[in-house]
């Protein structure tokens, strides 16, 4: 888990990278940019805001032969080893990005390379490298007093509320390829940023396994529990699964199944489904791992705990208290109407 509140920008270098395919060049600044309090505050908000709002899905640098051959990995290591070299190395970063900018869809833009300190990662202060790119220009109005009138100039600039592309490289897990976070608001060229420029792959840490295992459980609930039982049991299964993760620090599959699986006959189905579908979620050989609490919270927010009925009625289940759904909601069959029904118990109606 990261906290960027106290992070300091120690140095920043700004270059412009064009589209090589279109014959656009690259402009490399001779010196790093000199920060002041105003620009520092604006740039920190511009650079860091997307990472505060985004789920923490970590990557690592990779290479088919060895991670040492990954260009950005090598350049990041140079900066971590000698922070004073950040500007010189930033030119190599810009040149590498320019070499990857050869698809017609790739937009030219400004590249910012920063050395960061006091980054809080998993409750430890470390340094990091930020690489950010602004691409889309927006029109804005500049109003100027001209004698007894006010004139309007239409200018183009960068919207500091929306970063186009960015990554944070943390000085952690170097042997595995560092820990990396990435954001990209323009989906049309994701391969260019993640694969061609950064050369990263998902980092299989506790966050990765926690999220993927819960996503696997969601699919099992939809594909197996729902057809075998009903919608209520599908919701209850995921309810119990998430709460099991929330109250434990470590995951052990046998303990998980014994606690969560309401129908023991579904346990063999679960194991068979894991053999068949597990590789899709990279959990086929996973039965023990540390649980990332932040990841559990992220998954909980996305789980749909609503039963939609064909009579245009919705029943929203309570994920905070999994026992309430079993205690206060009953499903039955009405012979006279030839319809299913849900019986809901309550003491009073809550006021909005």
Same domain for 154 and 57 = yes
DSSP state of 148: T
Same domain for 223 and 191 = no
Q: Give the helix/strand (H/E) hosting 258.
A: helix 253-260
Q: Specify whether the CB–CB gap between 312 and 294 falls below 8 A.
A: no
Rounded to whole angstroms, how far apart are CA atoms 73 and 67? 7
Q: Is residue 54 part of a domain?
A: yes
Q: Is residue 350 part of a domain?
A: no
Same domain for 224 and 139 = no
Q: Specify whether the CB–CB gap between 166 and 131 falls below 8 A.
A: yes
Quick one: 202 exposed, middle or buried, by C-beta within 10 A (0-12, 13-18, 19+)?
Answer: middle
DSSP state of 220: H
Q: Is residue 351 part of a domain?
A: no
Q: Specify whether the CB–CB gap between 59 and 181 falls below 8 A.
A: yes
Residues spanned by the domain of 256: 207-344
Same domain for 23 and 82 = yes
DSSP 21-70: GGT--EEE-SSPBPP-HHHHHHHHHHHHHHHHHS----EEE--SS-GGG-
Q: Specify whether the CB–CB gap between 164 and 186 falls below 8 A.
A: yes
Question: Residues 208, 211, 213, 218: what is their CA dihedral angle, to the nearest 10 degrees?
Answer: -150
Same domain for 161 and 212 = no
Quick one: 121 exposed, middle or buried, by C-beta within 10 A (0-12, 13-18, 19+)?
Answer: buried
pLDDT given at position 127: 96
DSSP state of 349: P
Last residue in a domain, options 203, 231, 250 = 203
Rounded to whole angstroms, how far apart are CA atoms 43 and 37? 10
Contacts (Cβ under 8 Å, ≥6 apart) of 207: 56, 57, 58, 292, 294, 295
Q: What separation, in Å, do the N-terminal and C-terminal C-alpha atoms of the chain show?
A: 34
Q: Is residue 352 part of a domain?
A: no
| C-alpha distances out from residue 327 to 177, 260, 324, Å | 49, 16, 5
Same domain for 31 and 161 = yes
3-state secondary structure of 181: strand
Rounded to whole angstroms, how far apart are CA atoms 243 and 235? 12
| Residue carrying the six token digits 């937009």 | 107
3-state secondary structure of 208: helix
| Residue carrying the six token digits 């620009």 | 39
| Residue carrying the six token digits 């995951």 | 251
- Give, for all 352 residues of the chain, the pLDDT tens digit: 789 999 999 999 999 999 988 889 899 999 999 999 999 999 999 999 999 887 788 999 999 999 999 999 999 999 999 999 999 999 999 999 999 988 888 889 999 999 999 999 988 999 999 999 999 888 888 899 888 899 998 988 888 888 999 999 999 999 999 999 999 987 766 688 999 999 999 888 888 999 999 999 999 999 998 888 777 788 888 888 988 998 899 999 999 999 988 888 889 999 999 999 999 999 998 899 999 888 888 877 777 677 778 888 877 766 556 566 667 777 788 888 888 887 887 777 777 6
Last residue in a domain, options 149, 170, 203 = 203
Q: Tell me the helix, strand and coil percentages in the chain, rounded to 5.
A: 40, 30, 30
Last residue in a domain, options 203, 236, 257 = 203
Q: Is residue 135 part of a domain?
A: yes
3-state secondary structure of 186: coil
Tokens of 40: 């520092």
pLDDT given at position 289: 94
**pTM here?**
0.78
Same domain for 101 and 135 = yes
How many independent structural domains does the chain possess? 2
């Amino acid at each position: 888990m990261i906290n960027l509140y106290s992070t300091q920008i120690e140095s920043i270098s700004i270059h412009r990278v064009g589209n090589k395919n279109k014959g656009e060049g690259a402009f490399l600044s001779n010196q790093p940019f000199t920060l002041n309090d105003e620009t520092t505050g604006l740039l920190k908000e511009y650079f860091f805001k997307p990472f505060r709002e985004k789920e923490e899905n970590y990557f690592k640098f990779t290479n088919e032969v060895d991670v040492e051959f990954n260009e950005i990995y090598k350049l990041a290591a140079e900066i971590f080893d000698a922070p004073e070299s950040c500007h010189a190395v930033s030119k190599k970063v810009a040149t590498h990005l320019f070499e990857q900018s050869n698809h017609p869809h790739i937009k030219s833009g400004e590249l910012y390379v920063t050395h960061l300190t006091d980054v809080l990662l998993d409750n430890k202060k470390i340094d990091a490298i930020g690489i950010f790119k602004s691409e889309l220009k927006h029109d804005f109005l500049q109003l100027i007093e001209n004698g007894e009138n006010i004139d309007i100039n239409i200018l183009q600039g960068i919207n500091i509320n929306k970063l186009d592309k960015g990554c944070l490289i943390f000085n952690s897990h170097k042997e595995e390829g560092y820990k990396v976070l990435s954001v990209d608001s323009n989906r049309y060229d994701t391969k260019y940023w993640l694969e061609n420029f950064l050369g990263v792959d998902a980092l299989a840490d506790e966050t990765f396994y926690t999220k993927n295992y819960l996503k696997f459980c969601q699919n099992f609930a939809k594909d197996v529990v729902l057809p075998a039982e009903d919608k209520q049991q599908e919701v209850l299964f995921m309810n119990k699964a998430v709460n099991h993760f929330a109250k434990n620090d470590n995951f052990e599959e046998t303990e998980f199944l014994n606690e969560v699986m309401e129908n023991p006959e579904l346990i063999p189905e679960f194991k068979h489904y894991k053999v068949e579908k597990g590789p899709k979620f990279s959990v086929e050989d996973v039965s023990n791992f540390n649980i990332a609490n932040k990841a559990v919270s992220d998954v909980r927010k996305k789980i749909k705990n609503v039963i939609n009925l064909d009579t245009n009625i919705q029943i929203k289940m309570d994920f905070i208290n999994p026992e309430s759904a079993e205690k206060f909601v009953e499903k039955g069959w009405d012979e006279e109407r030839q319809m299913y029904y849900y019986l809901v118990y309550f003491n009073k109606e809550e006021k909005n």
